[in-house]
Amino acid sequence: MVEAGTIIFWSYSVQWKYDKKNLIISGLNYDLYLSLFPGFYIYTVDGIRYDQLLRSFEEDERDLAEELIKKLMEKNVLVTNVMGIHELFDPQQKYFMPHNNYDEEMMFDASKVEDFKRQAQQRNDKREENEIALPAYDWDAEKSRRESIRSFSNNCISSKDFAYVLNGLRQKKIPDNKRRYCYPSAGGLYPIDCYLYVKENIVEGIGGGLYFYSPANHSLRLLDKILIPKTIHYLNNREIYSSSAFSIYFVYNPCFSMPKYGGMGYYYAILDTGIMMQLLTMQALERNIGSCIIGDLNSKKLKEYMKLASGQIYLGCMEMGYYESK
Ligand SMILES: Cc1cc2nc3c(=O)[nH]c(=O)nc-3n(C[C@H](O)[C@H](O)[C@H](O)COP(=O)(O)O)c2cc1C
């Protein structure tokens, strides 16, 4: 149900085209609604109240318009809030295609992917004449040991180790009513909220369920004792999720950065998330907790399980658990 006052926008990442017979939106056919165009697009491109949009059509076309709005909202062609990462970034691929030297099959062939990875990592091997060699230092033990862990021990995580990992995100109150964190964030706004999903009987003193982490109180608020199924993950990440003790979800709250930074707040939020992920990786490693960052999952499904509001943007996830003893 869309409320009358909701402002509806045509997503700028969605293209449409039509001729006398066909209406194609984002590659799909919408011929049934041909009579509503181009007005429909012109009304929504800069945002329009839902009730006003319906009133923009003749009475006998309003049911059709209502039906189309519902369909296009389901497909994220029409949006009412800041867009998710897929809507934002997926269209970039189109502009990259003329520069893509690899066939599209590449990403489905393991040996071709491995070859592509090798080429990516070796792209700077060649020494140039004007290169200045720098002294190399050994990484400390922690840095040397870091690697993405995809299979975890089923040993119960001690409450101290669990708290230690999250301690990296803690907010500290300092004199003059100021707050500090041990990592940076654009403008000191810290607009990323962390949610924890803890599996049953695997973290000492913490029951299974979904929690919100409060950096101000360094505490967990139980939101729901739900079970989040492995199907929120894509096939190649399901085993990682099945063996982890807990997951950390990074959720951007634009209300706490866009008023200052506008659209760039979104970009900074992604940078903030990367910084937090690296910090947590190293914090966990100190307690023999391994981790794996998961770049993509079915965020629509996850958002439903988490009961996130439409303005909360899911940005990423980490899976954690003790290293398996070798
Ligand atoms: C943004 C990002 C997304 C990633 N997504 C996944 C993922 O979905 N599944 C996975 O197994 N590893 C994922 N990784 C881990 C990388 O595959 C891994 O860091 C890379 O292969 C280098 O290996 P290492 O971390 O063991 O050194 C991701 C890492 C990053 C930084």
Q: End-to-end CA distance of the chain, in Å?
A: 54
Q: Is 147 in the pocket of ligand 1 (CB under 6 A)?
A: yes
Q: Is 231 in the pocket of ligand 1 (CB under 6 A)?
A: no
Beta-bridged to residue 180, according to DSSP, are: 172
> C-alpha distances in angstroms, 182 versus 199, 280, 292?
27, 11, 21
Q: Where are the beta strands (DSSP E) in the chain?
A: 7-10, 16-18, 23-25, 28-29, 48-49, 78-79, 172-174, 178-180, 192-198, 209-214, 219-224, 246-252, 289-294, 313-322
Q: Is 114 in the pocket of ligand 1 (CB under 6 A)?
A: no
Closest to 167 (Cα-Cα) out of 287, 288, 306: 287
- Which residue is it, tokens 């924890």? 196
Strand order in the sheet with 246-252: 219-224, 209-214, 192-198, 246-252, 313-322, 289-294
In the predicted model, is pLDDT for residue 326 greater than 80? Answer: no
pLDDT at 325: 80
pLDDT at 104: 81
Q: Is 324 in the pocket of ligand 1 (CB under 6 A)?
A: no
Instruction: Report residue 117 CA to chain centroid gap.
Output: 23
The overall average pLDDT reported for the chain is 96
pLDDT at 20: 77
Closest to 247 (Cα-Cα) out of 192, 279, 288, 203: 203
Q: Mapping DSSP to helix (H, G, I), strand (E, B) and coil, where does residue 205 land?
A: coil
In the predicted model, is pLDDT for residue 103 greater than 90? Answer: no
**Each residue of 64-86: pLDDT tens digit?**
999 999 999 999 999 999 999 99
- Which residue is it, tokens 């992604």? 270
**If you measure from the C-alpha of residue 174 to the centroid of ligand 1, how many angstroms do you get, rounded to a whole number?**
36
Interacting residues of 6 by C-beta distance below 8 A, sequence separation 6+: 49, 50, 80
**Each residue of 34-73: pLDDT tens digit?**
999 999 999 999 999 999 999 999 999 999 999 999 999 9
pLDDT at 189: 98
- Label residue 230 by pLDDT band (50, 70, 90): very high
Name the residue of 107, 116, 148 to mutate for ligand 1: max ligand atoms within 8 A of Cβ: 148
Interacting residues of 173 by C-beta distance below 8 A, sequence separation 6+: 179
Name the residue of 292, 297, 315, 320 to mutate for ligand 1: max ligand atoms within 8 A of Cβ: 292
**If you measure from the C-alpha of residue 114 to the centroid of ligand 1, how many angstroms do you get, rounded to a whole number?**
14
Q: Is 294 in the pocket of ligand 1 (CB under 6 A)?
A: yes
**Each residue of 157-202: pLDDT tens digit?**
999 999 999 999 999 999 999 999 999 999 999 999 999 999 999 9
Q: Is 223 in the pocket of ligand 1 (CB under 6 A)?
A: no
